[in-house]
Structure 1
Amino acid sequence: MGRVRLEAITWERLGDLLAQRLLDLKLDDGSPWPRIAFDGAPAARPGDLAHRVSEALRIRGRSSLVVGTEGFLRPASLRLEYGHQDVEAYYDGWFDTGALWREVFGPLEADGDGRVLPDLWDPATDRATRSSYVQLPPGAFLLLHGPFLLRHWFPFDFSVHVLLSPGALRRRTPEAEHWTLPAFERYETEADPSATADVLVRADDPRHPAWNG
């Protein structure tokens, strides 16, 4: 990542400013549902920011649906086919991107019906969640959070990357999950999310984020 000028901000202020930025979005593909990425490693907690922005949008009178990619994991028999700590499988095969295209992005295309499945698979029980579909009214936001989002050609209208330095990522990732760290190194090299995202948030200190907004 090249040098990016970042400014200190509070999480509350960041949520408010991002919500306002989303309200000002101009969509150019005909879809009435803005699709937003909150990209980051689990240790960066991008879902927390997505929920904060969702609340800020609600206060401003706009609906949104927060969806996490952990609800679209493949069954354990597929995820763990090459072992419990296979970095290649984690990077390329843990998340059911086909289901995300089918159940989340497809319904939000210009000719879609806005009927989205919020999750598909429960990794704790390794069974289908059987969740009900959610009908998004025109103008409602999809706020999708999870790792590796900016390498799948998902049709995002706006993207936020929550970045941790390598040292912070290691410190804040549970030791039992340190085997996943090479996957995030590869992602930074191949997808360069810090440069390609519309907004970069550095969260090395969870109490004091900074952003390039």
Structure 2
Amino acid sequence: MTARVKICGLTRPAHVQAVAECGAAYAGFVFFAKSPRNVSIAQARDLALTLKPGVAKVGLVVNATNDELDAILAEVPLDMLQLHGKESPARVAEIRARYGLPVMKAVGVADAADLDQLAAYEAVADQILVDAKAPKGADLPGGNGLSFDWTLIADRKWSKPWMLAGGLTPENVALAIEKTGATQVDVSSGVEAAPGQKDDALVRAFVAAAAYS
């Protein structure tokens, strides 16, 4: 099974080019000041404009206000919004209706109890990102290089497209796909030489591993 790949946290033109060339389906740009992968609106606009057609441009935001989203979308030609904060199902629905863009909602998972919230978000989002839950007190809601127990979602049936994230690397992504049945996977820190600095060889290796899982 070939999984569609999202490379998130892109910050440099060369890395955007590598993502496009290796066959990734999604390119992610982070609008969150605490992240080492944060980009300005101007940077994201320039990076997005270099992408070839067919690669979906995803903007990751964390508890963004309408004013913040207005500013981003006025400049950056995004294809999807990824909500990675504590947005409620009602807020997800509001954003989707206001901007007319597909919305992906990230849900952090650490144990079986965290799965209960998935149904509410499935009802209002276009896609679900199932990610490892950030540790208490962490500055980042994602991109921490942590995984979760994949057997928690091994037999789950999904009503919407979903994406697996959390601690994925070129070395373990094939196993993760096998264990969960994921048809889409998301990676950020797992293909970096340093926080916020993508490694082109790791990006290519990850996409290749996801394709031959």
Q: Which has the larger radius of gyration?
A: 1
| Higher helix proportion (structure 1 or 2) | 1
> Fold conserved (TM > 0.5)?
no
TM-score (norm 1): 0.34
More relative contact order in 1 or in 2 (CA 8 Å, sep 6+)? 1
TM-score (norm 2): 0.34
